[in-house]
Structure 1
Amino acid sequence: MTLLNGPRTRRRRLGVAAAAGGLLTALLTAWPATAIPDPGDAPPARTQVSDRTEAQVRAAIADGEIPAQDQIVHSANLTPLANIPKDALPGTNSDLAFQGRYAYAGNYDGFRVFDISDPKSPKTVAQVLCPGSQNDVSVSGDLLFLSTDSSRSDASCNSTTQPATEKSSWEGMKVFDISDKANPRYVAAVETACGSHTHTLVPKRDNVYIYVSSYSPNAAYPDCQPPHDGISVIKVPRKAPEKAAVVGFPVLFPGDGPDGGGNPGAPTNPGVSKTTGCHDLTVLPSEDLAAGACMGDGILFSIKDPEHPKVIDQVQDNVNFAFWHSATFNRNAKKVVFTDELGGGVGATCNAATGPDKGADGIYDIVGRGEHRKLVFRGYYKIPRHQADTENCVAHNGSLIPVAGRDIMVQAWYQGGVSVWEFTDSAHPKEIAYFERGPLTTDKLTVGGSWSAYWYNGYIYSNDIAKGFDVLKLTDRRTDPARRIHLRELNVQTQPDYFD
């Protein structure tokens, strides 16, 4: 290993270790999540940049301001242990879920099961081909759930893309039996309005409830009609998953307009997404709470009655947030971190031109009690390292690191890499560790980087869009107590009470 020198090293202030990496060997074969409906399965375009931008990127690499193409750099307290490249599923890697000694990695072509009993050497247990973006994945008991948010010819794993304007097209939730980890078995499919971009589990003893987030209706789509101002609720009997069915569509944004009562977007609020559904929800079952990232709005709601969630508070940020993307509670439900996916995940927004407050995290304190609780804005957090204008970079999926008395989380930033940061002081968050790779390309804006980065039983696992499955070890006195906490199961959007 060598040390990086130059201006970038001084800005990092953490001590940088670097490892040489190989050139990109696999091309992306599916669009990542964007703020565009029905992203489909077409290969992403590599956007050509100007000669001037290319020269600036190359100069920044030569000066040590950013890592070299595909070079790995990391803070001294965050060490890469393993990388498993993509194999039989060449599509875009997406979300992660965990259960015992297994990790489940979503991919636009299906999902992959890893044995992570030895984090330094994960082993592939199964690869299931079942195309349909985004294929966000979660698990509960013997069941695995997979989101489909691209219009398909049918619900099978042999389906092909088909226009959403055709009534016979299918989008929604797929259910697999994973009692045999090496041979997952497809057991049920439930069609939902506007598909399933993401989903969130509310597990009960006999049933699993699924909150399905989807958005961007269109009068031309028979199964995705406006207004689309709520979420689909699916009930899955554990002993009879083939009977899974939609049991409701609670309206979260009531209103008299054609799109309900959410953020109207432009021209009223230029640069802000109009709210026509939710992108992602995080539930905290121990507190009967949920936080919703819903395009132009952030919401807090009660899930005491899981089939009839009730909104407690609704907030907007029409200055710096463009697309409310995901949410994370702190350990005692006194704060929520919302992410803003400016540019839909395909833009280069971690640069000086964009600034520190856009494409960032918004930290909100939860004040008050019961149904009178309010979300109060306290501050923004964005990674302190500028990325190249050929790197897609914006706040994305992360999880809490369970440390009593502190608020610390790990988070993916696409080609901005993985950031570990503390928000114990909500108004003054700070990064304490990081891992990233240099740009995939220097002459084009190419989509890649970490989609999800989560803490699970002492290690950080990241699903990189292009590079595969990464395992990282964090060694820091501030987070070392978290190693004592071991979970049997983790779906990050179903946030556990780590200290129960």
Structure 2
Amino acid sequence: MFDPTPRGSRRLALSLAAAGALLLAAVGAATPASAAENTIPAVDEIVHSPNLTQIANVPKFGAFATEASYNSDLAFQGNYVFAGNYNGFNIFDVSDPASPQVVSQVVCPGSQGDPSVFGDLLFLAVDAVRSDDSCNSAGGSVANPDHWEGVRIFDISDKSNPQYIKSVRTDCGSHTLTLAPSKDGKDVYVYVQSYGPPANGSGAYCKPPHDKISIIKTPLADPTSSAVVATPVLFPDGGNTNTSGCHDITVYPELDLAAGACMGDGVLMDISDRTNPVILSQVRDTNFAFWHSATFNNAGTKVLFTDELGGGSGAICTANYRTNQGANAIYDIVGTGAGRQLVFKSYFKIPRLNSPRENCVAHNGSLIPAMGRDIMVQAWYQGGISVIDFTDSANPVEIAFWERGPLSETRSILGGSWSTYWHNGYIYSNDIQKGLDVLKLDDPLTNNARAIAFDELNVQTQPSYPACTTILRGKQNGSLTINSGITCMDGVTQNGAIKVNPGAGLIVFNSNLNGSIHAVNASVVSIVESKVNGSVDAIGATIRDSKVNGSVRTS
């Protein structure tokens, strides 16, 4: 989102008892996609493809209920969803995704309120000048050296009562932030993205040129000692159209890579040294107005960038704009080492038109960990939610969508899905006005993604998941020995024992296995929504929503 606006201030913690009094909004009746593809829905009407349906909604409540209190980004930890807002954040328990429960609401104003979580810590981005760093602060002035914006850190060990423990001021605040864990596991680095210094240079701590990011080091043993340790300049030449820092950075720690959406530039970076990112490739596109966010595929061989033309408030999904404006751009990563480069392959924009009253443009999304495919779910503000398959970089295809009609027929109201992410089998969307939506995707291309679960997910800190080297389907007769790679089973009837040798892996989804499973020092063994007629002997294996008719040894 572009140009945040400071909000009011106060702090509230809802008790579980009070939260229990909140009622879920009734899920509205939906219109089949085939009947609505070429028609703009009516106000609040829901249209969707048959494979993507809403199962829950929690309306905005408490201090976040007003129209001006915008919902923002999401983070996840186990069965908890952390939902940001310009006035703070909510914590929901989604143990039952069809019935999310409010755990707490923390009111601590300062847009955008994008959250990221790491263990018992929550980091909250503040890009609106405040009179001080407290949750009781008022709006401030960038010209006042005593006023504050930056990153707030909370202890979330007690989800029902988060505690504010530390603030770190950063130059020009924190529009977004990204966590990059240290390689030794002792620290987490916070990449702080901000922009917009006053053109006249009047900012006390936000002065042009602002072609850098700030990096905070948080020692996990002593998070209250968090401090800025580096401010690397990414664009010493000023970047394209005087790029000032980055809007968002997605890191892929396992590959030591980062993709930066930096307003006028898209960049690929080496982050082997967490405090000294090095640009490997820098690209520009005359069809891109504002490089907004980035997503790697699981293999780290592609990056999907988004263009937030209009800053998030514009009606860019109308006939007045081309299909390559306010869209995604997909790049392949070619080459090796320091020679890696971004190579453009295609654009993607949702194929449905919106009304001139609806803000709509490409926004935040995440990978869906489907076997053998590159699939992403993405928010488009009032353009709704889109699921795209970009396995073929040059020919991305939409495979599902879900959308609400306009918020009003008579005035433009900023709304729609800010962030839409896949987490452990479900899609979660933080709608600016309508609250938290939970959706279920039922599609043969993506159902097997339920075999993958993450303990923690910050989408801008992209995790890897086991990549299938062999995918089996249908009937398989005879014993199976897996010597290397990861064998994935999707809808398999296996007649025979399975042996997984050291270093190899097995992922089973929606399958019937007639025979024992034996694994020694396997890289992964995961059995989900399946039936095993035999014993399972696999130390460290995950067995979820499955039935085993035999002995089980996993620890």
Query: TM tier, shorter chain?
Result: 0.7 to 0.9
Q: Which residue of 457, 471, 475 maps to 1:490?
A: 457
Superposition deviation, residue 41 in structure 1: 2.9
Q: Which residue of 386, 399, 403 maps to 2:366?
A: 399
Q: Which residue of 368, 372, 376 maps to 2:335?
A: 368
Structure 1 residue 263 corresponds to structure 2 residue 240: yes
Match of 2:53 in 1: 79
C-alpha distance in 1, partners of 2:7/2:245?
A: 22
Match of 1:380 in 2: 347
Structure 1 residue 467 corresponds to structure 2 residue 447: no
C-alpha distance in 1, partners of 2:406/2:247?
A: 27
Structure 1: which amino acid aligns with 2:402? F
C-alpha distance in 2, partners of 1:212/1:62?
A: 41
Q: Which residue of 184, 188, 196 maps to 1:216?
A: 196
Structure 1: which amino acid aligns with 2:47? V
Match of 2:187 in 1: 207
Match of 2:274 in 1: 306
C-alpha distance in 2, partners of 1:63/1:170?
A: 47
Q: Which residue of 199, 224, 231 maps to 1:242?
A: 224
Superposition deviation, residue 64 in structure 1: 7.2
Structure 1: which amino acid aligns with 2:230? G
Match of 2:94 in 1: 116
C-alpha distance in 2, partners of 1:63/1:285?
A: 40
Please say which structure displays the higher CA radius of gyration. 2
Structure 2: which amino acid aligns with 1:301? M
SS in 1 for 2:338: helix
SS in 2 for 1:445: coil
Deviations 1:123-147 (A, max 9, x none): 0000000000000000000000000
Q: Which residue of 293, 304, 310 maps to 1:343?
A: 310
Structure 1: which amino acid aligns with 2:121? L
Deviations 1:100-135 (A, max 9, x none): 110000000110000000000000000000000000
Superposition deviation, residue 331 in structure 1: 0.9
C-alpha distance in 2, partners of 1:485/1:64?
A: 35
Match of 1:23 in 2: none
Instruction: Evaluate the alpha carbon distance shift between residue 62 and residue 240 of structure 1 in structure 2; reply closer, same or farther with a 3 A threshold.
Output: closer
Match of 2:138 in 1: 160
Deviations 1:235-275 (A, max 9, x none): 011121110000000111112xxxx3x002xxxxxxxxx41
Deviations 1:193-229 (A, max 9, x none): 0000000001231111000000122211111011111
Q: Whose relative contact order is higher, 1 or 2, with alpha carbons under 8 Å and at least 6 apart?
A: 1
Match of 2:42 in 1: 68
Superposition deviation, residue 63 in structure 1: 12
Structure 1: which amino acid aligns with 2:59? P
C-alpha distance in 1, partners of 2:37/2:155?
A: 52
Structure 1 residue 288 corresponds to structure 2 residue 262: no
C-alpha distance in 2, partners of 1:498/1:346?
A: 35
Structure 1 residue 225 corresponds to structure 2 residue 199: no
Match of 1:174 in 2: 152
Q: Which residue of 125, 133, 154 maps to 2:111?
A: 133
Structure 1 residue 332 corresponds to structure 2 residue 299: yes
Structure 1 residue 412 corresponds to structure 2 residue 379: yes
Superposition deviation, residue 321 in structure 1: 0.3
Identity of aligned residues (%): 60
Q: Is the 8 A contact 2:84 2:113 kept in 1?
A: yes
Structure 2 unaligned runs (5+)? 9-34, 468-555
Structure 1: which amino acid aligns with 2:416? G
SS in 2 for 1:166: coil
Larger deviation: 62-71 or 404-413?
62-71
Superposition deviation, residue 171 in structure 1: 0.5
Q: Is the 8 A contact 2:36 2:47 kept in 1?
A: no
Superposition deviation, residue 167 in structure 1: 1.6
Match of 2:126 in 1: 148
Larger deviation: 125-134 or 396-405?
396-405
Superposition deviation, residue 169 in structure 1: 1.5
Deviations 1:463-484 (A, max 9, x none): 0000000000000000011000
Match of 1:253 in 2: 235
Q: Is the 8 A contact 2:37 2:352 kept in 1?
A: no
Instruction: Evaluate the alpha carbon distance shift between residue 410 and residue 138 of structure 1 in structure 2; reply closer, same or farther with a 3 A threshold.
Output: same
C-alpha distance in 2, partners of 1:465/1:314?
A: 32
Match of 1:455 in 2: 422
Match of 1:24 in 2: none
Larger deviation: 401-410 or 275-284?
401-410
SS in 2 for 1:444: coil
5 Å-filtered alignment, 1:353-364, equals 353-364=320-331
TM-score (norm 2): 0.77
Superposition deviation, residue 443 in structure 1: 1.5
Structure 1 unaligned runs (5+)? 1-32, 43-60, 265-273
C-alpha distance in 2, partners of 1:224/1:499?
A: 43
Match of 1:18 in 2: none
Superposition deviation, residue 404 in structure 1: 2.8
Deviations 1:333-390 (A, max 9, x none): 1100000000000000001110211000000000000110000001000001000010
Instruction: Evaluate the alpha carbon distance shift between residue 478 and residue 239 of structure 1 in structure 2; reply closer, same or farther with a 3 A threshold.
Output: same
Q: Is the 8 A contact 2:131 2:148 kept in 1?
A: yes
Superposition deviation, residue 40 in structure 1: 2.5
Instruction: Evaluate the alpha carbon distance shift between residue 284 and residue 62 of structure 1 in structure 2; reply closer, same or farther with a 3 A threshold.
Output: closer
Considering fraction of residues, name the structure with more strand.
2
Match of 1:184 in 2: 162
Structure 1: which amino acid aligns with 2:254? S
Structure 2: which amino acid aligns with 1:432? I
SS in 1 for 2:453: coil
Q: Is the 8 A contact 2:38 2:353 kept in 1?
A: no
Q: Is the 8 A contact 2:120 2:155 kept in 1?
A: yes
SS in 2 for 1:325: strand
Structure 2: which amino acid aligns with 1:443? T
C-alpha distance in 2, partners of 1:366/1:62?
A: 37
Match of 1:27 in 2: none
C-alpha distance in 2, partners of 1:276/1:87?
A: 36
Superposition deviation, residue 62 in structure 1: 11
Structure 1 residue 317 corresponds to structure 2 residue 291: no
SS in 2 for 1:98: strand
C-alpha distance in 2, partners of 1:444/1:421?
A: 31
C-alpha distance in 2, partners of 1:196/1:385?
A: 33
Structure 1: which amino acid aligns with 2:83? A
5 Å-filtered alignment, 1:13-32, equals none
